[in-house]
Amino acid sequence: MRRRTFLAASVAAAAWPRAGASQITNSLLTPWTGPYGGVPPFDRVKVAEFVPAAEAAMAEEWQEVETLAADTAPPTFDNTIAALEATGSAAGRAAAIYSVWIGTLSTPEVRAADRALRPRLAGHLDRIKQHSALFRRVDAVYQARHASRLTVEQMRLTELRWSRMVQSGAQLEPPGKARLAAINAELAGCYTIFAQNVLVEENDHVLYLKEADLSGLPTDLRASAATAAAARRRPGDFAILNIRSAVDPFLTSSDRRDLRERVWRSFYGRGDNGDARDNNGLITRILRLRAERAKLLGYATHAHWNLDKSSMAGTPQAALDLMLRVWPSAIARVHEEVAEMQAIADRETVGVQIAPWDYRYYAEKVRKARYDLDLNEVKPYLQLDRMREALHWVAGRLYGLRFTQVFDVPTQHPSVTVYEVRRGARPMGLWYFDTLARPGKTSGAWMNTYRAQQTYGGRVTAIVSNNASFVPGAPDQPTLISWADATTLFHEFGHALHGLNSEVTYPTLSGVRVFGDYVEFPGLLLESWLLSPEVLKRFARHHVTGAPLPDDLIAKIRRASTFRQGFNVTELLASALIDMKLHLADATDIDPKAFEREELARLGMPKELAMRHRLPHFQHLFTSDSQSAGYYSYIWSEVMSADAAEAFVQAPGGLYDKGVAKRLYDHVMSVGNAVDPKAGYRAFRGRDPDVSAYLKSKGFPAT
């Protein structure tokens, strides 16, 4: 995951050395000072500064844009496109600090500021992107771009700036702009109601059980169900909450088929109960509004609009083609998995036909019989500090980066450590490592960019962070993490390296500021290095004995990586296919339930499982614009990362092959969004991404 918080969208140049003279005292706005080209003043931040900082930053950015737009000199790349890169610097600094508090130090006060600011920021960004006088200047540079002597990067920046304004309605006449604003406002309202409906259905539909109903449930699940019931004033009962983190383990372990069915129906029925919280009507309305907006902006459908804006795929067809290449293999694997599970069910009980509420349960029996991997055995070998050393070692081998801890930089919490990053003698930036759980910190893991690398207006190095919420070890004991956590650590570090390796001119194109279906690629890719013997033998050492992770455990981990992948990929892919088809369809009067049913039947969806997110609760699609017609991105990025890892595996030096690493650096890791990702990937791999490595990594049969 990579974090994007509210002001981040407007960040042009986080460290651009011009400050709003009016806001010298607000710590969110003042230029960063101190070592390493200036660092965020985390030690001076007050939450009370957030709202005034955001207001001042927006006002300053608007003033900068107005000044640019009013320039009477003929428009040039320098005085228009490049000059835009220097706007919004205070907003960039404020966003960096603000995002740290939202993600890692949240309080009711912080959340109140967020609620107050979010809608105003959306309006602010729209106003800039639709600025008529600014667009006339951007358009003049764009129309003259081929006759101007622009570098490749300047050409790309010009085209991106122009198309982002066009896609936001900058070319529309006043009535069109007014209609667009009305559509966006109505959509924003729909998104809020959609999210609230799902939230209520998740909170309210709780299944209360008695001790006698718990057959099969492991101790930790019983304990958390008891705690959840007590918190709902039902002491002595056991509550199965209607959220994925409770439903998944229940469906995996409960021996009670009748209860599994009830829990499954409740979870997959969220937003689809024909009551006041039913989301189907809302979806019909959202789709109609999106289609109208797409037409207004000159696109055939919402899917065309969203993919043209910011995707490597470029067109809905390209995304569909890739998904449909994977689909037959995924469902073929589902049929194999079902056959294997059915055999177990037939041996145990008469008359059970594997249904969606049985899949996880019988798959778990297969896992125990076939893979015999107890992940608890692995954890004593995974010390957080040693894993951090492993990350640095890998970055050294692949990219020649060296990490040295520094102590002269303020942090937002005493547990955060900071490292200076150099390549040879050349400073490349700072890396903040913030991985322990604490109150107010979001669960999950992510990478954040505090300051983007750039050279426009002088060289500025990157400042990035990796964040997670691992449970700290007891005092004087090392913090141990699970295999999944270690994988996550490598994933997020892949994003950090994307930020730290950046060598571009303009901040808009820097590091991880790439398209939505491309950004996960460097993160997913680095996961493969955790499994390399070089890393495991050196760094996965038992915290008491110091012994390396035994070979038979490593072999089991490798084998288990293909477990239940038919289910995992098919539920994801079914959601992604329905998402894309829905946003390509004629939106006049769509009945979401019928659409979902008929399209899944047409695809040959196996009846033993459901979409990961059914439409009435598909929050990725209906709580904002950004991920709609974009759920395919997960598969798209995974295909690329498997294909890229294969390039290493096939090279003489394997995962540490210098030549492949150099090509990856040249065409992916150092170029940010300064080159077209399709061309960049082709230059790295010598061809377009191929699905075969991905299919192999999932253990799918060739079809």
Nearer to Zn ion, 341 or 489 (CB): 489
Nearest CA among 425, 527, 428 for reference residue 483: 527
Provide the minimum distance between the beta carbon of 2 and Zn ion in the complex, in angstroms, as a whole number. 5
Task: Compare residues 16 and 518 and give the one whose CB is closer to Zn ion.
Answer: 518
Q: Which residue has the tokens 């039947």?
A: 601
Amino acid found at 340: E
56/447 with CB nearer Zn ion: 447
Least Å from the CB of residue 491 to Zn ion: 6
The CA distances from residue 138 to 63, 193, 457, in Å, are: 17, 37, 20
Q: Which residues bind Zn ion (CB under 5 A)?
A: 1, 520, 523
Residue 519 beta carbon to Zn ion: minimum distance, rounded to whole angstroms: 7
Comparing CA positions, the residue from 279, 274, 126 lying closest to residue 623 is 279
**Residue (4 or 260) nearer to Zn ion, CB:** 4
In the three-class reduction of DSSP (H, G, I as helix; E, B as strand; rest coil), residue 462 is classed as strand
Dihedral of the alpha carbons of 608, 613, 617, 621, in degrees to the nearest 10: -150
Beta bridge partners of 488: none
What residues are paired with 321 via a beta bridge?
Answer: none
**Torsion, CA 428, CA 433, CA 434, CA 435, rounded to 10:** 140
Q: Cα 366–368–370 angle (5° rounding)? A: 60
Taking the complex as a whole, how short is the minimal distance between the CB of residue 494 and Zn ion, in angstroms?
A: 8
Residue number of the CB closest to Zn ion reads 523
DSSP assignment of 167-197: HTTTTS-HHHHHHHHHHHHHHHHHHHHHHHH
Q: Which is nearer to Zn ion, 169 or 523 (CB)?
A: 523
Q: How far is the CB of 225 from Zn ion (least distance, A)?
A: 31
Q: State which residue, 358 or 527, has the beta carbon closest to Zn ion.
A: 527
Nearest distance, CB of residue 1 and Zn ion, angstroms? 5
Please, how many CA atoms are within 13 Å of residue 483, restricted to the half-sphere of its CB?
Answer: 17
Alpha-helical (H) ranges within 88-173 are 89-104, 108-129, 132-143, 152-167
Segments in 232-277 forming alpha helices (H) = 244-253, 257-268
Q: 509 near 674, Cβ under 8 Å?
A: yes
Contact in structure between 419 and 430 (CB atoms under 8 Å): yes
Report DSSP state, residue 427: E
CB of 93 to Zn ion, least distance (A): 24
HSE, CB side, 13 Å, CA atoms: give it for residue 425.
0
Give the residue with the Cβ less far from Zn ion, 362 or 634: 634
In the bound state with Zn ion, the residue whose beta carbon lies nearer, of 15 and 481, is 481
CB of 466 to Zn ion, least distance (A): 11
Residue type, 503: E
Question: Residues 6 or more apart from 490 whose CB is under 8 A from it?
Answer: 391, 394, 526, 527, 529, 530
CA angle 487, 622, 166 (to 5 degrees): 95
CA 550 to the chain's CA centroid = 33
User: In the numeric block, which tokens belong to residue 151?
Assistant: 């570098």
In the complex with Zn ion, the residue whose CB is nearer, 90 or 447, is 447
Give how far the C-alpha of residue 232 lies from the chain's centroid of Cα atoms, to the nearest Å: 32
**Choice among 420, 492, 596, 638 that is catalytic:** 492
| Of residues 523 and 606, the one with the C-beta less far from Zn ion | 523
CB of 482 to Zn ion, least distance (A): 18
Residues in the chain: 703
Alpha-carbon gap, residue 65 to 306, rounded angstroms:
25
Nearest CB to Zn ion, comparing residues 520 and 643: 520
- The Cα 15–Cα 32 span in angstroms is 7
Instruction: Confirm whether 571 is a catalytic residue.
Output: no
| Residue 524 C-beta: closest distance to Zn ion, Å | 7
CA distances from 390 to 115, 339, 565, 569, 647 (A): 39, 41, 28, 30, 22
User: Minimum Å distance from CB 592 to Zn ion?
Assistant: 29
Q: For Zn ion, which is the closer residue by CB, 1 or 531? A: 1
Q: Which two tokens stand for residue 22?
A: 């009016």
CB of 523 vs Zn ion, minimal distance in Å: 4
What residues does 85 pair with on adjacent strands?
none
Closest by CA position to 59, among listed 22, 4, 95: 22
Q: What are the respective helix, strand and coil percentages of the chain, to the nearest 5?
A: 55, 10, 35
Instruction: Supply the residues annotated as catalytic.
Output: 492
